[in-house]
Amino acid sequence: MAVASTDTAIRSSNWSRMLIYLVLLLFALFYLLPFGIMLVNSLKPLEEITGGNMVALPRTWTIEPWLSAWSTAQIGVEPTGLRPYFINSIMMAVPAVLLSTIVGALNGYVLTKWQFRGSTIVFGLLLFSCFIPFQIVLIPMARILGLLQIAGTTPGLVLVHFVYGIGFTTLYFRNYYAAFPTELVRAAQIDGAGFFQIFRRILLPSSGPIIAVSFIWQFTNIWNDFLFGASFASGGSAPMTVALNNLVNSSTGVREYNVHFAGAIMAAGPTLLVYIVAGRYFVRGLMAGSVKG
């Protein structure tokens, strides 16, 4: 009897499991659909798109639209392709992400382990900066960039994103380090470690998950930003998002949808990559932490 009942138990769990997978698969397909259509159309000659069927697979496969979008397409007035702007975005996002993560981590460390009179107020103000709408800071920021003589340059954008990101990264690290045992810091103090040694040797090695969170969040936001890019970087120093807009809106000649699709995927690629790579570390870090106990 017992054997029979286990048997049915297993079978029913198999069925419900299959149902769950089916539903998940449907949702995954649904979310992937736009991306699939972009990908399919970026690999077709233009005539196949203008000819009508957007959903069908290409009859002749071609990477021509990708090459064009990358290196020859008309961006505004110059036929440079997206490549220089892609580089601009990298030059903007990487330093801004690193700087804001490092400063956020240090802020979190000080605000939890080296509290000073008024540290909660400082944290409150930093937190407040997360909620200031972008539009409000545009004009003061333009003025400051002008004074520093980095208006319209990539370093200018780095500064903007770095400063704007500190609020968020500080919030992440502060909350993470608040749960980090203060006794460890005290033990390290007695052992003779200094401010930065404690940070580097004791806190940082345990910060993997929160660094991943900070990276993903900051990179996605900075890479995808359009408003600051359009406002503070002109012409040759524009980031990828602005260039993509210029590519799509270039009014000369026919609209090359296949090139537009290829460009859009290029613009989305790095954030996808960061999520796929760092997301895994994120989950792994969380699991390691929970097993430790």
Residues that bind other proteins (CB under 8 A): 181, 183-184, 186-193, 197, 201-202, 205-206, 291-293
Residue 197 CB, nearest approach to other proteins (Å): 7
Closest by CA position to 173, among listed 209, 206, 210: 210
Phi and psi at 280, nearest 5°, equal -70, -45
206 exposure class (CB count in 10 Å sphere: 0-12, 13-18, 19+): middle
Q: What angle do CA 90, 94, 210 make, to 5 degrees?
A: 140
Of 172 and 180, which has the nearer Cβ to other proteins? 180
Residue 188 CB, nearest approach to other proteins (Å): 7
Residue 180 CB, nearest approach to other proteins (Å): 10
Residue 185 CB, nearest approach to other proteins (Å): 9
Spatial separation of the C-alpha atoms in residues 122 and 111, rounded to whole Å: 9
Residue 291 CB, nearest approach to other proteins (Å): 8
Residue 23 CB, nearest approach to other proteins (Å): 38
Spatial separation of the C-alpha atoms in residues 83 and 69, rounded to whole Å: 8
Sign of CA dihedral 200, 202, 204, 208: positive
Of 143 and 200, which has the nearer Cβ to other proteins? 200
Chain-centroid distance of CA 64 in Å reads 28
Spatial separation of the C-alpha atoms in residues 108 and 173, rounded to whole Å: 5
Closest by CA position to 211, among listed 92, 103, 89, 95: 103
Closest by CA position to 280, among listed 190, 208, 222, 193: 208
Residue 121 CB, nearest approach to other proteins (Å): 17
Residue 225 · residue 74 · CB < 8 Å: no
